[in-house]
Amino acid sequence: MAKSGKYPFSLMLLVGLAAGLLLSWCVLFFLFFQQGDGLRLSAVSDGRYARIDLKTGAVEGNVLTLAPPPAPAPIPDATAAPATVEVPAPAPEADNAPVILPQPAPSGDGAIQVADLPAPAVEVAPVPGTDANAVPPAAQMPTVRAPLNPAPNAALVETVGSLALPKKAPDGMSPSQYYRKPFTRQAGLPMVAVLVRDLGLHKTHTQAALGLDENVTFAFSPYASNLAEQTSQARLTGHEFWLQVPMEPEGYPANDAGPFSLLRTDSLEQNLSRLHQVMGLAVGYVGLVAPPTELFSASRLMGDLAEDIRTRGLLMVQHQPVMTLPRYDDLLMTINRTVAPTTTPEQLRIQLTELEAIARSRGHAVLSLPATPGLLAELPAWLATLPAKKLALAPLSAVSATKSQP
């Protein structure tokens, strides 16, 4: 029996699909890629139609016409002569008219060389009172109610090597008695003493302190520049002053108090030498001030140094009662409230209120305040309230007879 001559159905289907695919490619090529001699792209957006001929660059359709960008401004020719500008005639020159300096010619590349600029010769007339360390003239000096004794008093100075150190006079007068601020205490009226410390390091801070009531006591740093001039200015404005003595602080040696610092690890001779160096930096002071945070006063060396301080007729004030030797009760004083540099004005007002309560309870109280403008600005208003509160502002030396406790 002979085989059938018909093709299988699957083969016919495959051939038909191949022919249809080939025909589709031919149609797509004809429609999209080749129309005449050029190529075109079409686009539709927001209702607008455009067709671009990629060969000729022609655009067809309802597109917007964009205006060409404006031409850039022409660059001026550096070699051209500048335009003529009419300038009104200047007014007649006054006696203090500014001096017009000649302008240097530009170099070859057009840049002005700094070396070509002439240095103007300017004469500055000195203005009285502008130097923070200078003593103000008599016309600007405030009226001092209780002037201090003149300094130095030759009877209260001895020369040791190259140093001029304080000493007691042959008649028994001590520097703390002679240089102290005159003060008469009213019977039964509690006293408050204010010690402004760290003076002399910043001129503006020192000048701000000079405007305080003359019964405010000053403590100058031995590291102050022009210490003699600054302390003289303080005394001329009626302020009793004391001299600060750097001592080994907490955290030493990472926290260093400077070359004048008294150190527990050094010998008595070394510390005594540094103490004398500090004493010889100024004249006219009542006593010495230990730092707020120090460890040296608790050492065994402090007793011998305290003996030297007392022999020379000076007083000493501590911010903390770290040295409690009964035989030095006539020498030592302690602070009741110590204000830190980071204290805010609000915190200071609280401490001032506490100070008033201490003064009423014990008859006197001492405040130690750093010389910062923000804190100093709070003092005048508070000091003005003391008379109404039946409290007397007294210099630090006035409360030395009765020792306060913190």
CB 196 within 8 A of CB 217: yes
Q: Tens-of-pLDDT digits for all 406 residues of the chain?
A: 444 455 677 777 777 777 777 777 665 655 544 444 444 555 544 444 455 665 566 655 544 444 444 454 444 444 444 444 343 444 443 333 333 333 334 434 333 333 333 333 333 333 334 343 444 443 355 689 999 999 999 999 999 999 999 999 999 999 999 999 999 988 889 999 999 999 999 999 999 999 999 999 999 999 999 999 999 999 999 999 999 999 999 999 999 999 999 999 999 999 999 999 999 999 999 999 999 989 998 888 998 999 999 999 999 998 877 655 556 667 778 899 999 999 999 999 999 999 999 999 999 999 999 999 999 999 999 999 999 999 999 999 999 855 544 4
> How far is the C-alpha of 285 from the C-alpha of 176, rounded, in Å?
7
The two tokens of residue 284 are 């006219």
> How far is the C-alpha of 105 from the C-alpha of 129, rounded, in Å?
43
E strands, 200-252, in order: 217-220, 241-244
pLDDT in tens, 353-396: 999 999 999 999 999 999 999 999 999 999 999 999 999 999 99
In a domain, 146, yes or no: no
Helix, strand, or coil here: 10?
helix
Residue 110's CB is within 10 A of a number of other CB atoms, namely 7
In a domain, 344, yes or no: yes
In a domain, 136, yes or no: no
Provide the angle, in degrees to the nearest 10, between the axes of the packed helices 227-236 and 203-210: 20
Quick one: which of 247, 137, 136, 232 has its CA closest to 179? 232
In a domain, 43, yes or no: no
DSSP state of 30: I
**DSSP H helical ranges for 110-202:** 175-178
In a domain, 251, yes or no: yes
Q: Which residue range(s) make up the domain with 345? A: 153-180+188-399
| Strands 59-60 vs 48-53: parallel, antiparallel or unpaired | antiparallel
What does the angle CA 364 – CA 366 – CA 369 come to, to the nearest 5 degrees?
A: 155
Whichever domain contains 244, its CATH number is 3.20.20.370
> How far is the C-alpha of 199 from the C-alpha of 240, rounded, in Å?
13
Q: Which helix (H) or strand (E) holds 254?
A: none
In a domain, 210, yes or no: yes
Provide the number of structural domains found in the chain.
1
In a domain, 126, yes or no: no
In a domain, 273, yes or no: yes
